[in-house]
């Protein structure tokens, strides 16, 4: 309804300023503290664990790959060694004469293949490079091998396993040739094996949908068909510059920046990458191993996503959980800190209010003591003046020979002295009432009844000034402890001031309400008028003793001070809101306290005190003002 609000304490005391504390800054600091102490460690632990686990998983997978390639290499090497040994055994245990006989050679051939040797054919070749005997599906008896590469190799090395080649039969195959010397005779025992059979040897099981295993010779020619791209005897796309005998593993994981996982990858690794054998886009993991005889490179590769699919899924779940936890901690931190700062703010406000009240109480005590001293000291001279007045009045009445005009003038002057003494007397009584700080024995008072009594007294006066009083009482209000005459005095002041506030206005209204305040455990009464209102500067002093806005002689400015003092003694509080030109609203809060009922003895004493202290019924204490 009105703009500015001032509580009884706020109006008069400058208390320590808790608002200078920066709560947003405090909130930021708390949140930062929570982040540093909880979120950061959580993130650090989470990410370190994640990275460690990823690294560990990757090395495990790399080790698995390495084992796979080594396994396959051993299979191929064992196969070739067995076939070479078998041929050596035949050469060592059979004479040239025996083997030159085609039926004998055929018998040996069948014995060898009967043991699962998978030879395609078998031949005995003389030093001239021509078959001396041949068993197999091709007609090769008249072929001259003296110019072939393998013939030269076996002649120089004694035992030779060739790379894959097409040869006369135009089918990819390789040759195992043994140079035999018996007596004075020298000849070559040669067998061929289809290259396809080698492909079936290398294991592809367990390599999923993207894995493949193949062999490449030193020149980079496929010795077995890759599963996806290229075929046997195609160039693999990179030169195998020299045999290194190394084995290793590579990753094209972009995270690794194409760095080999294994440290000693050497030339082959570099070539594998350089010539696009591995594609970063495909993100593959590759393991390789060199065979010694022949010098073939066994390669196993598989897509990174397939190899690390499960690990990646676990990692994703871990990261999602980790960041969810971080987010939750952040949200909880912000929420909890927000509530904490809010509570701190509320507590600060309460402390501020308490400090103000303490300072106000101290101020009131000082003012009260001063006021009481002044009042006491003035009372005695006033009593003397009053009696002197009466003595003169007696003399005038009894003295003869005084003129009528003199007597009338004297009577008027003495009457004025009497009136002014009476006025001073009221002021001193109000001062004493204001300064009274002792706790009176109280009884239960009905707020509605007290207010209604005052309204009944002032209604006629208000009506005559064109002011309409309306009341809105909440029924069944809890009783408050206090004195009804004191409570009436408070509302006499407030309603009287509200009437006076309409000075100069043809009409107006005063609205009085009462209600229960469950939160503060008490009752509240408000007196709102449509009067002239109070300026901001005046509002700050409205509860100060001797502050008045009324003309000189119409008020001493003690009314609201006394009312405030009474309300405070009852444990309550007063506040005021006002807007110039619109009106003023006073709010009185009174707590409902539990207490013993009043005994008959105490009642009698209190009645005597009440009789002494109460102003005449319906009469507002002299010079009540302030608002």
Partner 1 sequence: MRKPRLLLVDDEIPFAANLLKLLSRRGYEVSAVHDGSSALRIVEEQEFDVIILDQNMPGKDGITVLKELKKKWPHLEVVILTGYGSVDLALDGFELGAYDYTTKPIKLRDLEEKIGQAFRRKMLRV
Q: Give the residues lining the site for partner 1 (CB under 8 A).
A: 372, 376-380, 382-388, 390-391, 394, 418, 421, 424-425, 429, 432, 436, 438, 440, 605, 608-609, 612-613
Query: Structure tokens of 301?
Result: 């590769």
**Torsion from C-alpha of 129, 130, 136, 138, nearest 10 degrees:** 100
Dihedral sign computed on CA atoms, order 179, 180, 186, 190: negative
What's the CA gap between 51 and 64, in Å, rounded?
A: 20
CB of 619 vs partner 1, minimal distance in Å: 15
User: Given the complex with partner 1, which of 125 and 382 has the nearer CB atom?
Assistant: 382
Please, where are the H alpha helices in 542-599?
Answer: 559-569
**Least distance (Å) from partner 1 to the CB of residue 603?**
13
d(CA 373, CA 124): 146
Answer whether the bond into residue 457 is a cis peptide, omega within 30°: no
- Neighbouring-strand partners of residue 444: 481
- 3-class DSSP state for residue 584? strand
How far apart are CB 374 and partner 1 at their closest, in Å? 11
Instruction: Quote the least distance from Cβ 375 to partner 1, whole Å.
Output: 8
The Cα 320–Cα 467 span in angstroms is: 72
The residue assigned the tokens 């493949």 is 212
Residue 250: which residues within 8 A CB-CB, separation 6 or more?
Answer: 260, 261, 262, 265, 269, 272, 273, 278, 285, 286, 287, 288
- Output the smallest distance, CB 356 to partner 1, in A: 27
With H, G, I as helix, E, B as strand and everything else as coil, classify residue 7.
strand
Of 4 and 425, which has the nearer Cβ to partner 1? 425
Q: Report the C-alpha gap between 375 and 378 in whole angstroms.
A: 5
Rounded to a whole number of angstroms, the minimum distance from the CB of residue 428 to partner 1 is 8
Strand positions, DSSP E, 438-497: 443-445, 467-473, 480-482
Query: Inter-axis angle of helices 309-398 and 404-435, to 10 degrees?
Result: 150
Nearer to partner 1, 321 or 395 (CB): 395
133-136 LR contacts (CB < 8 Å, sep 24+): 133/99, 133/100, 133/101, 133/102, 133/105, 134/102, 134/105, 135/102, 135/105, 135/106, 135/109, 136/109, 136/192
Q: Report whether 262 contacts 249 (CB < 8 A).
A: yes
CB of 386 to partner 1, least distance (A): 4
């Amino acid at each position: 309804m009105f703009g500015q609000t001032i509580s009884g304490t706020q109006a008069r005391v400058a208390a320590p300023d808790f608002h200078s504390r920066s709560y947003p800054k405090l909130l930021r600091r708390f949140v930062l503290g929570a982040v540093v102490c909880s979120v950061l460690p959580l993130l650090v632990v989470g990410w370190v664990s994640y990275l460690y686990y990823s690294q560990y998983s990757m090395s495990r997978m790399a080790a698995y790959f390495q084992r796979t390639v080594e396994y396959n290499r051993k299979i191929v090497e064992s196969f070739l060694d067995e076939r070479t040994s078998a041929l050596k055994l035949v050469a060592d245990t059979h004479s040239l004469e025996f083997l030159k006989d085609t039926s004998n050679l055929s018998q040996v051939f069948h014995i060898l293949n009967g043991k699962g040797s998978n030879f395609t054919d078998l031949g005995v070749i003389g030093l001239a490079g021509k078959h001396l005997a041949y068993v197999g599906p091709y007609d090769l008896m008249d072929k001259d091998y003296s110019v072939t590469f393998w013939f030269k190799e076996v002649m120089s090395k004694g035992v030779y396993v060739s790379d894959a080649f097409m040869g006369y039969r135009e089918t990819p195959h390789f040759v195992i040739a043994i140079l035999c010397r018996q007596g004075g005779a020298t000849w070559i025992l040669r067998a061929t094996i289809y290259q396809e059979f080698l492909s079936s040897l290398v294991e592809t099981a367990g390599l999923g949908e993207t894995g493949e295993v193949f062999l490449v010779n030193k020149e980079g020619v496929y010795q077995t068909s890759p599963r996806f791209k290229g075929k046997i005897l195609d160039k693999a796309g990179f030169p195998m510059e020299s045999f290194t005998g190394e084995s290793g593993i590579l990753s094209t994981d972009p995270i690794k920046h194409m760095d080999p996982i294994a440290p000693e990858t050497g030339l082959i690794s570099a070539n594998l990458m350089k010539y696009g054998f591995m594609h970063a886009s495909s993100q593959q993991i590759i393991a390789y191993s060199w065979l010694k005889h022949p010098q073939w490179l066994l390669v196993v590769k598989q897509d990174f996503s397939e190899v690390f699919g499960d690990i990646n899924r676990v990692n994703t779940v871990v990261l999602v959980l980790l960041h969810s936890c971080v987010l939750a901690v952040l949200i909880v931190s912000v929420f909890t800190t927000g509530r904490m700062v809010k509570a701190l703010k509320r507590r600060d406000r309460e402390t501020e209010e308490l400090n103000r009240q303490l300072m106000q109480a101290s101020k009131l005590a000082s003012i009260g003591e001063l006021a009481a001293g002044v009042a006491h000291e003035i009372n005695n001279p006033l009593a003397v003046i009053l009696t002197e007045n009466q003595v003169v009045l007696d003399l005038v009445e009894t003295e003869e020979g005084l003129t009528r005009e003199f007597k009338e003038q004297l009577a008027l002057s003495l009457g004025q002295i009497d009136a002014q003494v009476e006025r001073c007397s009221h002021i001193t009584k109000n001062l004493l009432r204001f300064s009274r700080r002792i706790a009176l024995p109280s009884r239960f008072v009905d707020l509605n009844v007290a207010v209604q009594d005052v309204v009944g007294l002032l209604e006629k006066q208000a009506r005559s000034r064109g002011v309409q009083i309306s009341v809105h009482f909440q029924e069944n209000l809890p009783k408050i402890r206090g004195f009804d005459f004191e409570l009436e005095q408070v509302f006499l002041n407030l309603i009287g001031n509200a009437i006076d506030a309409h000075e100069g206005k043809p009409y107006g209204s005063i609205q009085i309400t009462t209600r229960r305040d469950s939160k503060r455990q008490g009752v509240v009464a408000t007196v709102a008028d449509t009067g002239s209102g109070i300026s901001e500067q005046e509002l700050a002093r409205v509860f100060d003793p001797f502050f008045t806005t009324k003309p000189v002689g119409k008020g001493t400015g003690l009314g609201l001070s006394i009312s405030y003092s009474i309300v405070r003694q009852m444990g309550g509080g007063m506040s005021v809101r006002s807007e110039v030109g619109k009106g003023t609203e006073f709010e009185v809060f009174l707590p409902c306290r539990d207490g013993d009922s009043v005994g008959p003895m105490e009642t009698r004493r209190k009645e005597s005190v009440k009789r002494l202290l109460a102003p005449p019924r319906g009469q507002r204490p002299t010079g009540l003002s302030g608002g």
